[in-house]
Chain A
Amino acid sequence: MERQNEVLDNVIIKFAGDSGDGMQLTGTQFTNTAALFGNDLSTFPDYPAEIRAPQGTLAGVSGYQLHFGSVEIFTPGDYCDVLVAMNVAALKANIKNLRKGGIIIANTDGFDTKNLRLAGTEEGKNPLDDGSLENYRVIRMDVTKMTRASLEGSGLGVKEIDRAKNMFVLGFLYWMYNRSMDHTEKFLEEKFGNKPDILKANLSVLKAGYNFGETSEEFTTRYSINPAKIAPGEYRSVMGNQAVALGLIAASCKSGLPLFYGTYPITPASDILHEVSKHKNFGVKTFQAEDEIAAVCSAIGASFGGALGVTASSGPGIAPKGEAIGLAIMLELPLVIVNVQRGGPSTGLPTKTEQSDLMQAVFGRNGEAPMPVLSASTPSECFSMTYEACRIALAHMTPVMLLTDGYIANGAEPWLFPSSADLPEIKVTFAREKNAGDKFYPYKRDEKLSRPWAIPGTKDLEHRIGGIEKQHETGNISYDPANHEFMVRLRDSKIEKISDYIPELKTEVGPEKGKLLVLGWGSTYGAIKSAVIRSRNKGYDVSHAHLRYIRPFPKNLGELLYNFEQVLIPEMNTGQLIRILRDKYLIPAVGLNKIQGLPFKAEEIQNKIEELMK
């Protein structure tokens, strides 16, 4: 059969189905295949908070959005081109994010009476027949029926057969986008190596899906997306949480300190623990503590002993760590705390993303308790910023908070990974000798205002540290009023001084001076960048800068802000960075705030830019 081949420069596919339909796996497989092919990409998994949300309902819809292309990709995309809907609920939940004229691949079996009822559709109406989808191209396929047909005589039960449904869809999409099935075949072989009948079933359903595209006369067009023209080099795919884990292990290797990772499971931070604990051959020790307080305290104990002590959590778990973080600030021991932010307050929206813990990170402790705060903007930047957090903690003898969020933690992107030799050095020198005549002063300062790290086991340097205010240099308990004020200011200067050791802020897009600066932090990076590029292409004088260092700020931040007539700050909160900036630089910045548990669409930011510049 004659078929057209259309070349596209980017495509956005949303895989949506019931939590049991395997959409996350389908999405990940397509992603890896696209990545190996050389496309640039960005993903956004979006799944329900309940492990087994009621089947067929809107609450149970699990989605995975993939944006891939031959051009640079910064976000998972605002509106999808293709929506895979395994049932009515999946269609209902996602139709508003499908562009007009987009393709719906509907599993007709998921549109039966039962599914219609579960999704709360009006009695007697089926979106596939009632004309409501006339603005889209609907591809109907009875995936269930075809999956069962292809496995007839396999000897597997219906339940097991139906579990392979997602492979049919994946096979079909591979056909539609001219992709090889090699990667997924290899993956299945590894996954089901010891279950030959299941392996065979999955492989044949995958092929059946592919062949369905090949043989059905309905499909006249296939699509190609060429490899992307991005920086040359060797790439891999990485997710944010995985990148944090790798950053920690890399910092451990480069500093020569064993990694101690103490934590308590919480969504969406647990995957860091899962990843770190796979790599014990790096000498890393993981400790699943009884609660978050024990988690951070165990990391402090490890740091006291000379390890790289790290803890991670999400907002609700960072809160109970507060008192101990204050202790680490008083002890002036290195400690890295990662907060994979999620929707708050309280339990909030565990599986949704938000940037609402910035104030907590900067100010959320009793007393004057300054601590560096860093943030990562993309999944792969979770690696470099984690590494940087470790570097600062060790070089400046201080706890450091790194902020990521659920969006980049679970999102994936291609990563031009570094070689270990390219990573900045992290040099740690433990104190070996007395530093005050015949005494050892644990709080004597160096040029960075940081104190010596003398670990137990070092002869003649026995000393006591604690949370009570201490005398300058000697570290002895002191209730002296003047000393207290001196120490409070000293601890603050020590953190501010770190700005001498971090890079200045440069714009990502656009000149360093002009009409409008869009300043962001964290995972809004891609959406802001896309929006600014689009507006610039339309002739607007707008620039984008992105903060990775929030405490202390880069030294030139004030100057950069004053170089623009207006500053726009998009945040997934009610305006936390903007308050800190107003406080410090007294600028009349404008906020754009979205608090829906969802990342910004580039369009939303672009609209705001163009509204401000009218």
Chain B
Amino acid sequence: MENTPAIEKFTSKDLVTDQDVRWCPGCGDYSILKQAQTVIPELGIPRENIVFISGIGCSSRFPYYMETYGMHSIHGRATAIASGLKASRPELSIWIVTGDGDGLSIGGNHTIHILRRNFDVNILLFNNEIYGLTKGQYSPTSEEGKVTKSTPMGSVDHPFNPVALCMGADATFVARSMDRDPKHLQSVLRRAHGHRGASFVEIYQNCNVFNDGTFEAFTEKSSKKNEALFMEQGKPLVFGENMDKGILLDGFKPVVVQTGNGISLNDLWIHDEHDRVKANILSRFFDNPGMEHHLPRPFGVFYTEDRYCYEDRLEEQIATMIQKKGEGDLDALLKGRETWTIN
């Protein structure tokens, strides 16, 4: 509706609101906010065209801290609200902030449906494997046997693998990052924005109050190199203290190999984010780091695909109908096809 001729530049400072940030000190959400505030000014979007929509949870407080348009909605429904907003205002840059409970439990249905419809939005799912705001119950991403306030004997639930779930929902952009790696998170946010379609980004986020250290194997210096696999398009899948370990695909079975001794980088699995089959395999790199012979956890873009966006087709249908029938004429519509006159 509104068209701004020249985009007014703004900085990350301009994205800070006058509201006090109310997350616990040390919470991973701070870093994610900071990275978003760093990246967004570079994207060339007029600030007034940016909208952050969230559900309910600690993570969902996010919009209050972003000096853009925003809505802090109800539990699980940010994706559904964003769908309606994007359908009616395709030119807006819409960012959804949700949690593992918000987006995968109460709002799980809307998450899979927005992905298959492929609205051009960015979905940031802050996964802390816990319900933070309600003070520490297990979530649909908590590991089996998780002992929390609501599961003193350990949770019975088998957890979701969010990336695999989104692959299953035919998402057109699936990525994973973490709060503790600002550079990586920034690059993934840029990629998510650059993708036309629904971009799903799972962000490992530490809840230092109710689930401290869940991701530490991937985020802490001491173990990160061995446990986190950073995928880069067109590059071999390598990791390890000296980047000397790699992934090799034996049929459909991924195996960890030591490079050198006859195995060169060229023999390794070369990451291709357009390959759905391989992305599905990568999404299943979901072993517990404590396990013997486990695979490392991938970070970066798993998969991306070009597919029409829902809102585009919606506009096309309107254009087609106008071409066929002409712009709607209200009087003709009210009159209908058959009338009669009473004198």
Looking at B33-41, B293-301, B335-343, the stretch in contact with chain A turns out to be B335-343
Residues A477 and B19 in contact, CB atoms below 8 Å apart: yes
**A327 interface residue (CB < 8 Å to B):** yes
Within 8 A of A (CB), among B255-314: 314
Q: Is the CB of A279 within 8 A of B328?
A: yes
Give the residues in chain A near B50, CB-CB below 8 Å: 456
Q: In the complex, how many angstroms separate the beta carbon of B11 from the nearest chain A beta carbon? A: 15
Please give, as numbers and ranges, the residues of chain B lying within 8 Å of A291 by CB-CB distance.
109
13 pairs from A and B in contact (CB 8 Å cutoff): A36-B340, A260-B84, A281-B318, A293-B80, A301-B86, A301-B88, A302-B85, A302-B87, A304-B71, A309-B88, A417-B336, A458-B2, A466-B70
From 234 to 273 in chain A, residues with beta carbon under 8 angstroms from any chain B beta carbon are 234-238, 246, 249-250, 253-254, 258, 260, 262
A294-B77 in contact given A281-B325, A282-B328 (Cβ < 8 Å): yes
Cross-chain contact B340 with A234 (CB below 8 angstroms): yes
Residue A37 is within 8 A (CB to CB) of chain B in the complex = yes
B75 to chain A, nearest CB (A): 8
Name A32's contact: one of B56, B72, B338 (CB within 8 Å).
B338
Report how far A467 CA is from B60 CA in the complex, Å.
12
Query: Which of the candidate stretches A46-54, A225-233, A503-511 sits at the interface with the other chain?
Result: A225-233
Cβ of B48 and Cβ of A456 under 8 Å apart? yes
Q: Which of B53, B84, B322 touches A302 (beta carbons < 8 Å)?
A: B84
Structural contact, A419 and B334, CB atoms closer than 8 A = yes
Knowing A465-B71, A467-B73, say if A417 contacts B334 (CB, 8 Å): yes
What would 13 more interface pairs be, CB under 8 Å, given A236-B338, A236-B340, A466-B72?
A228-B342, A253-B330, A281-B326, A281-B327, A282-B328, A287-B83, A294-B109, A297-B83, A301-B83, A302-B85, A462-B68, A464-B17, A464-B63
Determine the distance from Cα of A406 to Cα of B2 in the docked complex, in whole angstroms.
Answer: 41
B81 touches A (CB below 8 Å): yes
Task: Point out residues on A near B: beta carbons under 8 Å.
Answer: 32, 35-38, 183, 227-228, 230-238, 246, 249-250, 253-254, 258, 260, 262, 279-285, 287, 289-291, 293-294, 297-307, 309, 323-324, 326-327, 331, 417-420, 455-468, 476-477
Q: Flag if B88 contacts A250 (CB, 8 Å).
A: no
Return the chain A residue nearest B324 by Cβ: A281
Q: A477, B64: Cβ atoms under 8 Å?
A: yes
| B110 lies within 8 A of A294 (CB) | yes
Chain B residues engaging chain A, CB cutoff 8 angstroms: 1-2, 4, 8, 17, 19, 46-51, 53, 56, 63-64, 66-74, 77, 80-89, 91-92, 109-110, 113, 314, 317-318, 321-322, 324-328, 330-331, 333-336, 338-343
Pairwise interchain contact B342-A253, C-beta atoms closer than 8 A: no
Given that A235-B339, A298-B81 are known contacts, is A418 also in contact with B48, CB under 8 Å in the complex? no
Across-interface contacts of A460 in B (CB, < 8 A):
48
Chain A at the B interface: mostly helix, strand, loop or mixed? mixed
Is there contact, CB below 8 Å, between B334 and A327? no
The count of A-to-B residue pairs whose CB atoms sit within 8 angstroms is: 217
| Shortest Cβ distance from B3 into A: residue | A457
Query: Is the CB–CB distance between A297 and B81 below 8 Å?
Result: yes
Point out the residues of chain A lying under 8 angstroms from B81, CB to CB: 297-298, 300-301, 304
Q: Are A279 and B336 in contact (CB under 8 A)?
A: no
Chain A residues within 8 Å of B87, by CB: 260, 285, 287, 298, 301-302
Chain A residues within an 8 Å CB radius of B67: 462
Residue of A nearest to B53 (CB): A301
A457, B85: Cα distance in complex, Å: 12
Q: Which of B53, B328, B339 contacts A236 (CB 8 A)?
A: B339
Q: Beyond A283-B328, A464-B72, is A233–B341 a contact (Cβ under 8 Å)?
A: yes
Chain A nearest CB, measured from B73 CB (Å): 6
Across the A-B interface, the 3 shortest Cβ-Cβ residue pairs: A298-B84, A466-B72, A301-B84
Is there contact, CB below 8 Å, between B77 and A297? Answer: yes
What is the CA–CA distance of A38 and B343 in the complex, to the nearest angstrom? 10
Given that A231-B342, A297-B80 are contacting pairs, would A253 and B92 also be in contact in the complex, using a CB cutoff of 8 Å? no
Beta-carbon contact of A459 and B48 below 8 Å = yes
**B48 interface neighbour in A233, A419, A462, Cβ under 8 Å:** A462
**Docked CA distance A417–B47 (Å):** 46
Chain A residues positioned under 8 Å from B318 (CB to CB): 280-281, 283-285
What is the minimal beta-carbon distance from A310 to any residue of chain B, in angstroms? 11
> Does B328 contact A253, Cβ atoms closer than 8 Å?
yes
Q: Which residues of B contact A250 (CB under 8 A)?
A: 330, 333-334
- The distance in angstroms between the C-alpha atoms of A326 and B75, with both chains bound, is 13
Q: Residues of A contacting B335 with CB < 8 Å?
A: 234, 236, 417
Q: Please give me the residue from chain B that is nearest to A290 by CB atom.
A: B113
Structural contact, A459 and B73, CB atoms closer than 8 A: no
Please tell me if the beta carbons of B325 and A307 are within 8 angstroms of each other in the complex: no
Contacts of A303 in B (CB 8 A): 84
> A249 touching B342 by the CB < 8 A rule?
no
Complex: A287 Cα to B114 Cα, angstroms: 12
Smallest distance from the beta carbon of B103 to chain A beta carbons, Å?
13
- Between A228, A231, A476, the greatest number of chain B beta carbons within 10 A of the residue's beta carbon is seen for A476
- Contact partner of A456 (CB less than 8 A), chosen from B92, B328, B341, is B92
> Given A232-B343, A305-B89, A456-B92, is A467 in contact with B74 using a C-beta cutoff of 8 Å?
yes
A331 to B86 alpha-carbon distance, docked (Å): 18
If A418-B334, A457-B2, A464-B71 touch, whether A305 touches B85 (CB-CB below 8 Å) is yes
Which of B17, B51, B73, B327 is most buried by chain A, counting CB atoms within 10 A of its CB?
Answer: B73
Scoring A228, A282, A465 by chain B CB atoms within 10 A of each residue's CB, the highest score goes to: A282
When distances are taken between beta carbons in the complex, the residues of chain B under 8 Å from A249 are 328, 330, 333
Contact check, B64 vs A464: say whether CB atoms are below 8 A apart.
yes
Q: Counting chain A CB atoms within 10 Å of each CB, which of B56, B339, B343 scores highest?
A: B339
Chain B residues contacting A465 (CB-CB under 8 Å) are 70-72
Name the one of A236, A281, A287, A476 contacting B321, with C-beta atoms under 8 angstroms: A281
- Are A36 and B77 closer than 8 Å at their CB atoms? no
Per the bound structure, the CA–CA distance linking A246 and B77 in Å amounts to 29
A392, B69: Cα distance in complex, Å: 25
B83 and A298 within 8 A (CB): yes
User: With contacts A260-B84, A306-B89 known, is A466 near B73, CB below 8 A?
Assistant: yes
Q: Which residues of B contact A262 (CB under 8 A)?
A: 84
Report which of B324, B333, B340 forms a contact with A35, defined as CB distance below 8 A: B340
In the complex, which residues of chain A have a beta carbon less than 8 angstroms from the beta carbon of B53? 301
